Amino acid sequence: MKKTLKSKKGFSLVEMVAVVAIILILASVALYAYLTVVKDLPWEEVIGENPFGTTTTETN
């Protein structure tokens, strides 16, 4: 008798879930870092207002 190796096509469910989880973790870290940098930009000098609602200077 001769054993033949079946070719595996595609990914298993566990591999797919692991890849998706890693991508989501990296995306969330990147988004958090991006928003941290963007919120610290001087929006008042660029567009005249802060779109995030936090102001560094008081205006009356």
Q: Average pLDDT for residues 16-23, to the nearest whole number?
A: 96
Q: What's this model's pTM, rounded to 2 decimal places?
A: 0.53
Residue 34: which pLDDT band, with cuts at 50, 70 and 90? confident
Report which DSSP code applies to 52.
Answer: T
Residue 40: which pLDDT band, with cuts at 50, 70 and 90? confident
Least trusted range by pLDDT, from 17-21, 45-49, 52-56: 52-56
CA gap 18, 28 in Å, rounded: 15
Angle value at C-alpha 22, between 18 and 25, nearest 5 degrees: 140
